[in-house]
Amino acid sequence: MKIFAITNQKGGCGKTTTATNLAAAFAQKGKKTLLIDLDPQSHASIGLGAIRVEPHDSVFSLFSAGQENAKKIQDLAIKIESGFFLIPSHIILSTIEHELKEREDGLLILTKAITRSDLSYDYIVIDCPPNLGFLTFNALRAANEIVIPVETSAFALLGVGKLISMVELIKIKLHHAPHIKGLVTMFDEYSDFAEKMLQKIKYIFKDKLLKTIISQDMALRQAQEKCMSIFKSNAQSRGAHDHLGLAEELLELEQQESSENIFHEMRKILHGVYGNVYSKQKVFQFYAPHAKVVYVVGDFNNWKMDDNSRLERSEKGEWEKSVYLVPGRYRYKFVADGLWLWDPQNTEKEPNPYGDYDSVFKV
Ligand SMILES: Nc1ncnc2c1ncn2[C@@H]1O[C@H](COP(=O)(O)OP(=O)(O)OP(=O)(O)O)[C@@H](O)[C@H]1O
Ligand SMILES: [Mg+2]
């Protein structure tokens, strides 16, 4: 089961439109999908006809009750279309932040609710509110994939850096590393300004930007007014086509990732059998005599901090780790006591989408 959080603290950038129609598009592709409306404004719920929902029938019950009385996800999900389910929101959700953020496991409530329930969904899509508060943090913690809708307007990129820093914080503090993907929304192909913004967004996100672009389409607004997904409202529209394309791209990326994982596993096995034939040794060294723990993370290990990426310390305060890699070009960073640092011994660096630099090497 894959969990997507659709988030950006900027208001009105297309989060709800993306979340609703992406969830519906997954269902169109035969994937059982649950949309969780985590925004107290309840736009996704209203836009799908779930109005006059009682608080105890909404996502609020996942957060409000003590663990033992908490309702399960499957008790709350309502069927919208074939294969497409919704947990609606309620304005009362906006009152709980203050109360719950003091709770030790406050940021894990949604993650726990998902894992506590024995779910049969292929995908969960979470629509987040337009802020970086408690609810959004819960969604980021639960998600494996974060989709950031960015509309091609003047202030679209403001705050994206802050959001990405928050994901970094989750990586460091909670050892959870969801993938980030940017999505261009509300694109007006006849506007020169939109085209300029598109180039800017491409430059910032680089390979993290999804190829699918969601164009401006009145049919998407009309679908919300009719309280339907775009597929029920106007299946022939540009908006329907774009969201189906988005689901297809995400499904394809998932397949690629799983074949990369298989390849990675096979490489490990081959390495065990044939030693160095298929891969070359790369030794990472980092001088930090006062650090307590140092990792090397990069695209060769999915930027994961775990036992396999931890460096060993020599008596002189030099940290070292050797890894076997197939020939190629790799990006990496050291993480010393939670601080992400480029390699001071390597002058080759490249800007990353977070406004910082990654070190680069070839084997
Ligand atoms: N591709 C599009 N073409 C035309 N209108 C769109 C498109 N995407 C979104 N809209 C409209 O723009 C408005 C804002 O979109 P949406 O509600 O999806 O944004 P949001 O980021 O969820 O907003 P909020 O931050 O308030 O939650 C809505 O009226 C929606 O119908
Ligand atoms: Mg919204």
Ligand nearest to the CA of 246: 1
Atom 31 of ligand 1, residue of closest alpha carbon: 221
- The pLDDT value recorded for residue 318 is 92
What class does CATH assign to 279-362? mainly beta
Tell me 108's DSSP state: G
Judge if the beta carbon of residue 42 lies within 6 A of ligand 1: no
Q: Is the pLDDT of residue 156 over 90?
A: no
Count how many residues are written for the chain: 363
Q: Domain 2-260 adopts which CATH fold?
A: Rossmann fold (3.40.50)
Distance (angstroms) between ligand 1 centre and the Cα of 22 equals: 13
Task: Write out pLDDT tens, residues 254-282.
Answer: 888 777 666 666 656 555 555 554 567 88
Ramachandran class of 173: left when φ > 0, alpha when ψ lies in -120 to 50, beta otherwise:
alpha
Mean pLDDT of the chain: 88
Q: Which residues surround ligand 2, an ion (CB under 5 A)?
A: 15-16, 43
- The pLDDT value recorded for residue 244 is 98
Pocket test for ligand 1, best of 7, 13, 15, 17 (most atoms within 8 A of CB): 17
Ligand 1, atom nearest to 130 Cα: 25
Distance (angstroms) between ligand 2 centre and the Cα of 4 equals: 15
Judge if the beta carbon of residue 20 lies within 6 A of ligand 1: no
Query: Which residues face 184 on adjacent strands?
Result: 150, 213
Distance (angstroms) between ligand 1 centre and the Cα of 148 equals: 13
pLDDT band (50, 70, 90) for residue 319: very high
Task: Write out pLDDT tens, residues 101-113.
Answer: 778 788 889 998 8
- The pLDDT value recorded for residue 160 is 84
pLDDT band (50, 70, 90) for residue 170: confident
Token reading at 222: 């009309």
- The pLDDT value recorded for residue 117 is 77
Task: Write out pLDDT tens, residues 285-294.
Answer: 999 999 999 9
Q: What is the distance between the alpha carbons of residues 346 and 335, in angstroms, rounded to a whole number?
A: 15
Ligand 1, atom nearest to 185 Cα: 1
Q: Where are the domains of the chain?
A: 2-260, 279-362
- The pLDDT value recorded for residue 163 is 82
Judge if the beta carbon of residue 186 lies within 6 A of ligand 1: yes
Pocket test for ligand 1, best of 6, 9, 13, 16 (most atoms within 8 A of CB): 16
Q: Give residues with Cβ within 8 angstroms of 273, minimum separation 6.
A: none
First-to-last C-alpha distance (Å) of the chain: 35
Percent of the chain predicted with pLDDT > 90: 58
Ligand 1, atom nearest to 20 Cα: 18
Q: One fold for both 2-260 and 279-362?
A: no
Q: Which of 30, 47, 26 is nearest to 125 (CA)?
A: 26
- The pLDDT value recorded for residue 162 is 77
Buried b (16+ CB within 10 A) or exposed e, 114-127: beebebebbbbbbb
- The pLDDT value recorded for residue 272 is 56
